[in-house]
Amino acid sequence: MKLSVTCIGHKEVDHLKELFPQLLEWADELIYVDCESGDGSFELAQSLGIKSCQRPNNRNLNVNKSYAMEQATGDWIFYVDPDERFSKELIKEVKQAIQKDEAAAFRLPRRNHFFGHWLQHGGQYPDYQLRIFKKGRGFFPNKHVHESLKIDGNIKTLKEPMDHYPYRTISQFLKKMDFYSSFEASHLFEKGVRPSLSNSLKFLVFKPMNRFLRRWILKGGFRDGIPGTFAAVFDGVGWMLRYFKLWEITDKKEDR
């Protein structure tokens, strides 16, 4: 069974310098789609002999993920992000699983690391990710950046986790938060959501408070110290930020 690994990136050259050599050790085929990085990411991929191409940086990341998957020629596809890492134990389990051929897809647990600390609580672990599937049996609807793969067939769960390093610094977190909140605000606007008293209470009070209390208290995020508290607080703040951006979009549209 041939395993194709796909990856897209936008200004992720520091992560890719670590990731590419690791992937080349075990992937039968590696496909990289560069999304207007301009930081040397594409040149790095080419210098390593990786099958690579350049595409517009679509705000819905899954559009380019889908494109990368379409280029794969393997029997199985494993799509990864630049900020993820994979242990030898996990790769061994993956290869054994696809050889047994007992499912159409596999999900695996993910350990999220904030500012160098693994968040074990607050709903951050095991954070199952559906990433591995038979070619032709999985696809993205391409409607929302946070949507999951749709699988035609049964799904099994692996035991070994992969590691995720999305935020090495607070500044990096805030930058990504700005990107995702803009996408979410646009998505709300397209769905017909508009600023109102009821929506103000929903997005500025009830949702943020519920998200914080659930992650920090009910799911024990406080046990992860400052990083866990930060994650719980900004999980709530994210809802507020997308609502304020929704107001901004609506205000601009009305002015026009």
Burial of 169 (C-beta count, 10 Å sphere; 0-12/13-18/19+): exposed
Task: For the chain, give every domain's residue range.
Answer: 3-166, 169-255
Q: Are strands 3-9 and 29-34 parallel, antiparallel or unpaired?
A: parallel
In tens, the pLDDT along 192-244 reads 999 999 999 999 999 999 999 999 999 999 999 999 999 999 999 999 999 99
Contact between residue 33 and residue 68 where contact means Cβ atoms under 8 Å apart: yes
Those residues with Cβ within 8 angstroms of residue 121's Cβ, 6 or more apart along the chain or in another chain: 219, 220, 221, 222, 223, 224, 228
Q: Cα-atom radius of gyration of the chain, to the nearest Å?
A: 19
- Other CB atoms closer than 10 Å to residue 58's CB: what's the count? 18
C-alpha torsion angle, residues 185, 190, 137, 92 (rounded to 10):
0
Q: What percent of the chain has pLDDT over 70?
A: 100
- Res. 149 pLDDT band, cuts 50 70 90: very high
Phi, psi angles (nearest 5°) of residue 149: -60, 145
Q: What is the pLDDT of residue 119?
A: 98
**Which pair of tokens denotes residue 17?**
């310098």
The whole-model pTM stands at: 0.92
pLDDT of 77-86, one tens digit each?
999 999 999 9
CATH of domain 3-166: 3.90.550.10
205 is written with which tokens? 């009070």
Q: Which amino acid is at 41?
A: S
